[in-house]
Amino acid sequence: MTSLQQVLRGLKIAWFGFVRRVSHKDAHVHKVYWEFIKRTYTPVLIILYIISLGFAMLLFPITIPVLYFMPTIWHTFITIIPVWALYFAEMYNPVSSDKLFLASIHSIDTTLAHKFEQEADAYSRQPLSWCTWIRSTIWEQVYFASCIVACFLLSFIPILGHLLSYCIYTYMISKMLSWRLLDVYLNNISHWNEKTQNKFMYDNSMIMLGFCIPYVALTSVPILGPLLLGYAKASIADLVYEVFYATPRDIESGKVW
Domain ranges of the chain: 3-253
Confidence of residue 125 (pLDDT cuts 50, 70, 90): low
Mean of all residue pLDDT scores within the chain: 78
Residues, the chain: 257
Model pLDDT, residue 250: 54
Confidence of residue 177 (pLDDT cuts 50, 70, 90): confident
Lowest mean pLDDT among 96-100, 145-149, 187-191, 247-251: 247-251
Model pLDDT, residue 257: 53
Lowest mean pLDDT among 34-43, 67-76, 163-172, 211-220: 67-76
